[in-house]
Amino acid sequence: MLEPISISLGSLNITSLLPMVITAFGALTIICIDLMTKTLSRSFYTMLTVLFILLSLISVIGYTGASRGFFDLVLVDGISLMTQIIILVTSALFVPLALGGKRFQEFAMAEFYALFLFMITGFQFMVASDSLILIFIGLETASLALYTMIAMHNRKKAHEAAIKYFTMGALAAGFFVMSSLIFYALTGSVEIHQIAEVLAAKNFEPLVGILAATVFMIGALGFKLSIVPFHTWTPDIYEGSSAALAGYMSVVPKIAGFVVAMRLFEMLIGSGVLWLEYVLYGAVVLTMTMGNILALVQEDVKRMLAFSSIAHSGFVLSAILIGTTEANAGLFLYWILFMFTNLGAFTMLWATRNRKNLWDGRYQHPYSKFSGLVKIMPTNAVVMGIFMFALAGMPPFSVFWGKLYLLSAAVNSGFIILAIIMVINSAIAVYYYMKLIVYMFLKDPITEDGNVYTSNNSTVLKVIIGFAVFMTTISIVLVEPLLNIITQYVSNSGF
Amino acid sequence: MDHILSLIIFFPLVAGIFGFLVNKDSIRVYGITVAALEFTLTLALWLGFDNNIDGFQFVEHAVLISHFGMSYHLGVDGISLFLVVLSTFMTLVALIGLSITKNVKNLIITVLYLEMTMVGVFLSLDVILFYLFWEFSLVPMLYIIGAWGSDRRIYAAIKFFLYTFAGSALMLVAILYMGYLYHATTGVWSFSIPDWQLLILPFNLQMWLFGAFFLAFAIKVPMFPFHTWLPYAHGQAPTIGSVMLAAVLLKMGTYGMVRFLLPLFPDATVYFVIPVAIAAIVMVIYAAMVAYAQEDMKQVIAYSSISHMGIIILGTFALNAEGITGSIFLMISHGIVSGALFMLVGVIYDRRHTKMMSEFGGLAISMPTFATIYGIMLMASVGLPLTIGFVGEFLSLMGFYKVSWIMTAFAGTGIILGAIYMLNLYRKSFFGEITNEKNRGLKDLNARELSALIPLVALAVLLGVYPKPILTPIDVSVKKMIVLMEKKAIKPETKEFIVKVNTIKGGE
């Protein structure tokens, strides 16, 4: 017979749930408002969403309670707080992209904003827990919302993308559950810290079981992080979704995935399961190299950015392989700097979106679209050029500092060969980013009419792009304060 | 004059940003004025420079990223002083001589940015800062070659960019590894060159790090067999691009060798003296022979650049005061001479829209002033005594004579070959009767071209007759560096070698 359980409200540490509660409550509010009136404009929903995100952000920043809460299911440690901040800031920058010059179906629907807030809730749970069950619930909540949001773009390609993402995501979810199941069978727990303890006590036997669980987990997280060979969905889905959403997808779901990977894999690598280190090493190198090489041959800027984001994932994954505090701090530094730049680049694509495929029958944003842009719209060309150079890791722009920090973490931990592979890859990456620059700056324009580039532009988009450019160019002074915060958070959480 | 170095670096940047607001018709004068102001600033730096101090002067230091040991660290010594003056001077001259009218606003702003990066490379004492300027200097050059070049400009621009970018990738790992080693030895993070110079490294590490740095510099110089990007870049670049490339950008490579390889890795440097010297001699002779076979006037000068860079490297790796001082002087003089020659080719290209020597002949009849200036610069390039080219070449070869007289003799043949191809170029294009009617009645140099070229001619002669004001400060800093190398060396052979090449037999 079960013992009756009595729990005081204080021990539940409800405030640890506050950030998620705010976003979920926001989503419900939007649904309720939509039930009552249908006349409200998208700008209302946009701003309401931003407000809820800001509230949630404040509750994260102001959090001072214990790191455990809600039957120990919730874990609010340094990296969880930091990742939530990254997720919320990115989201707050993303939502206003709905206010482009053109009207799009999905942004006119209140459901989009509700789903968006639910998705944020999902990601927040995913990073704020070390229970595999809660992580899974967060992951699925977020993913299901995301599938729908992609489909709401309501183009043929968008439906294709959503279904592709859904089916492959379902497979990955299956992997995740299988892995959790095996871990549970081995240790009798689904909480990562307990799994670690039990495995250590058992001296990591039986190895076969651990290997099987790890393989499934690599498959599941590899899908989210688009690690080769689980990357095949990325370009099609980026191409199918709107440029703004694609930019968002290349940042937020991945950082959530990285945190889970960090919690789980670093525990396993730390235990000395050499085999996992080799697999991860292979995955890092393959992901970087394949991403870069495939990006070389793309004809569409969006697909190029998709493959390049695979390469960036591989680059950052090396931090988990290296596993030192410096490397983990490097992961966050890289991703924060990457976030501004990548979101900026995708927003540029979004701003230059044109309903008709004027340049190419197959692609929305072929390279030739940007031919001679510097002569038609010099400012846009310079801004896009800065984003491209920044993504390529050209000093002194943002991503360079992340690269530098990760490389030095690799060198400092004796991963010299890995560091060399990493720099060779950045040299390859320069080529395809430069291709766009060559088109924009060195070729002659196809059309003299600048209006085809501005149809979706608006003040809000300009402000966001301006902000992204600002952060990208001044990142040399951002690195120091960012690193102070990040290192403190990361080392507080024991990584 | 506390922050004069920051001012020198960032003045072109700020002026470039303001330049966007200047009207297209006035941008040329704006660019020249800014470049002139910048040149005045560097002259002020030279005036304020104390020739008796052998260390870094006007040092500025501020911590940028403390976790990393990266700081904003600037300073100038005899080695970098004249390269800075050269950069600003050549920018000014190139802007005066500019004849492009298409999209000239973008071009001038880009040149100002390029000026910032060049000056930044020579003034940075923090290695990360150095790397930052080093990499960023590629961007303006990519744009200059790619947007204002001739037909195959895009290919040339990309080749230039990728070659040099890939070359410096390994250098980045080496830089980070040096930072790690410094931290491991001293417990402090630092990327400052003066700090690094005090670090004594084991021999095998020196070898690896030397290799990684050397590759980046060798591609930039460019050394044989990494030279293939250069003739292409020169062939396609507009005149101003070639001038900046030959006069300053190539010097970054040789400057890097003097600044990094020698003082940081003395044992590895001595170990590699002979292989590097062989590569340099191959470069001197091979490039000279290729230059002789060219039909395009600009290609002749491009290959002659490679040939002369070989002598600079030879002088650097002589590892004695004469050789290194001579090689630094040769960097300056080659900057002035090759810059002038590329401008002269630009002058004739503007009139005839061809660079083929077979199209010319008898130019001395129709353009006497042009022919005179060309002749003087040609002599300076060949290294005629009393011209600027002679001093550096003589000192470099004299320096290397102490290492190996046979190899010096081989390098000397490069100079003879140089005289052959240059005089051949001059004979074909300028002497004889006018065979092509298009060459008759060509206008001689106009006021704009003269005002750009005459300062160069004056310098080529003046410094050739009296090079002392430049040699003295260089010599002081170089001697300090050699003493440091000797002290730092861990292998007795290295010490022996450095002492050997620095003593004059039978004298003193």
Q: Does A382 touch chain B (CB under 8 A)?
A: no
| Burial of residue B506, with CB atoms counted within 10 A of its CB: 0-12 exposed, 13-18 middle, 19 or more buried | exposed
Q: What is the pLDDT of residue B36?
A: 93
| 3-state percent breakdown (helix, strand, coil) of chain B, nearest 5 | 75, 5, 20
For residue B10, which residues of chain A lie inside 8 Å, CB to CB?
A: none
Q: Distance, in angstroms, between B89 CA and closest chain A CA? A: 26
Q: What tokens were used for A84?
A: 């939530």
Q: Distance, in angstroms, between B404 CA and closest chain A CA? A: 36
For residue B136, which residues of chain A lie inside 8 Å, CB to CB?
A: 394-396
> A243-279 as b/e, with b when 16 or more CB fall inside 10 Å?
bbbbbbbbbbbbbbbbbbbbbbbbbbbeeebeebeeb
Q: What tokens were used for A145?
A: 């919302």
Question: What is the interface pTM, i.e. ipTM, of the complex?
Answer: 0.86
By CA distance, what is A413's nearest residue in B?
Answer: B180
By CA distance, what is B183's nearest residue in A?
Answer: A412
Q: Does B128 touch chain A (CB under 8 A)?
A: yes
Which pLDDT tens digit goes with each residue over A71-109? Answer: 778 888 888 999 999 999 999 999 888 887 777 878 888
Question: Does position A3 have pLDDT exceeding 60, yes or no?
Answer: yes
- The answer to whether A431 contacts B139, with C-beta atoms less than 8 Å apart, is no
- The answer to whether A480 contacts B143, with C-beta atoms less than 8 Å apart, is no
For residue A476, which residues of chain B lie inside 8 Å, CB to CB?
A: 64
If we measure between CA atoms, which residue out of B311, B309, B308, B380 comes closest to residue B344? Answer: B380
Q: How far is CA B448 from CA A34, A252, B34, in A?
A: 72, 57, 17
- The answer to whether B165 contacts A430, with C-beta atoms less than 8 Å apart, is yes
pTM: 0.90
Q: What is the pLDDT of residue B35?
A: 93
For residue B158, which residues of chain A lie inside 8 Å, CB to CB?
A: 431, 434, 438
- The answer to whether A480 contacts B183, with C-beta atoms less than 8 Å apart, is no
- The answer to whether A438 contacts B158, with C-beta atoms less than 8 Å apart, is yes
Is residue A256 within 8 Å of A339, Cβ to Cβ? no
Which pLDDT tens digit goes with each residue over A106-115? Answer: 888 888 999 9
- Of the pLDDT bands very low, low, confident and very high (cuts 50, 70, 90), residue A451 is confident
- The answer to whether B173 contacts A411, with C-beta atoms less than 8 Å apart, is yes
- The answer to whether A423 contacts B170, with C-beta atoms less than 8 Å apart, is yes
Q: Distance, in angstroms, between B388 CA and closest chain A CA? A: 37
Is residue B241 within 8 Å of B273, Cβ to Cβ? no
Question: Does position A471 have pLDDT exceeding 50, yes or no?
Answer: yes
- Of the pLDDT bands very low, low, confident and very high (cuts 50, 70, 90), residue A230 is confident
For residue B135, which residues of chain A lie inside 8 Å, CB to CB?
A: 394-395
Q: Does A394 touch chain B (CB under 8 A)?
A: yes
Interface mutation target, options B116, B176, B190, chain A, most CBs of A under 10 Å: B176
- The answer to whether B154 contacts A430, with C-beta atoms less than 8 Å apart, is no
Which pLDDT tens digit goes with each residue over A386-412? Answer: 999 999 888 888 899 999 889 989 988
- The answer to whether B162 contacts A430, with C-beta atoms less than 8 Å apart, is yes
Q: Running DSSP on this structure, what letter comes out for residue A440?
A: I
Q: What is the pLDDT of residue B30?
A: 92
For residue B66, which residues of chain A lie inside 8 Å, CB to CB?
A: 480
Q: Does A479 touch chain B (CB under 8 A)?
A: yes
Q: What is the pLDDT of residue A273?
A: 67
Own/partner long-range contacts of B409-412 (Cβ < 8 Å, ≥24 apart): B410/B281, B410/B284, B410/B285, B411/B280, B411/B281, B411/B284, B411/B285, B411/B310, B411/B311, B411/B314
Segments of chain B with pLDDT less than 50: 506-508
For residue B165, which residues of chain A lie inside 8 Å, CB to CB?
A: 427, 430
- The answer to whether B64 contacts A483, with C-beta atoms less than 8 Å apart, is no
Which pLDDT tens digit goes with each residue over A202-219? Answer: 877 788 888 888 889 888
A421 vs A200, which has greater pLDDT?
A421
Q: Does B10 touch chain A (CB under 8 A)?
A: no
Q: What is the pLDDT of residue B213?
A: 92
- The answer to whether B128 contacts A408, with C-beta atoms less than 8 Å apart, is no
Type of residue at B432 = G
CA distance A108 to A426: 40
- The answer to whether A416 contacts B169, with C-beta atoms less than 8 Å apart, is no
Q: What tokens were used for A394?
A: 């050209």
Is residue A440 within 8 Å of A446, Cβ to Cβ? no
A276 vs B401, which has greater pLDDT?
B401
Is residue A333 within 8 Å of A483, Cβ to Cβ? yes
Type of residue at B241 = G
Three-state secondary structure call for residue B341: helix
Q: Does A315 touch chain B (CB under 8 A)?
A: no
Domain ranges of chain A: 14-354+364-492
> A415-424 as b/e, with b when 16 or more CB fall inside 10 Å?
beebbbbbbb
Q: Distance, in angstroms, between B19 CA and closest chain A CA? A: 14
Provide, rounded to the nearest whole percent, the portion of chain A with pLDDT above 70. 97
**β-pair partners for B462:** none
Q: What tokens were used for B325?
A: 């001082």
- The answer to whether B132 contacts A395, with C-beta atoms less than 8 Å apart, is yes
CA distance A87 to A75: 17
CA distance A133 to A139: 10
Q: How far is CA A162 from CA A303, B137, B145, in A?
A: 16, 44, 44
For residue B183, which residues of chain A lie inside 8 Å, CB to CB?
A: 412
Q: Give the mean pLDDT of A178-195.
A: 89
- The answer to whether B169 contacts A427, with C-beta atoms less than 8 Å apart, is yes
Q: Is the dihedral of CA B106, B109, B115, B120 positive or negative?
A: negative
- Of the pLDDT bands very low, low, confident and very high (cuts 50, 70, 90), residue A356 is low
Interface mutation target, options B134, B144, B173, B213, chain A, most CBs of A under 10 Å: B173
Option in A389, A423, A434 nearest B172 (CB): A423
Helices (H) and strands (E) in chain B, counts: 24, 2
Q: Does B213 touch chain A (CB under 8 A)?
A: no
A188: left (phi over 0), alpha (psi -120 to 50) or beta: left
Three-state secondary structure call for residue B320: coil
Q: What is the pLDDT of residue B352?
A: 84
- Of the pLDDT bands very low, low, confident and very high (cuts 50, 70, 90), residue A264 is confident
CA distance B286 to B417: 10
Type of residue at B408 = T
Task: Show Cβ contacts of residue A340 under 8 Å, excluding neighbours closer than 6 positions.
Answer: A398, A467, A468, A471, A472, A475
Q: Does B17 touch chain A (CB under 8 A)?
A: no
Q: What tokens were used for A251?
A: 């940042």
Q: How many CB pairs under 8 A join A and B?
A: 88
If we measure between CA atoms, which residue out of A443, A381, A445 comes closest to residue B154? Answer: A443
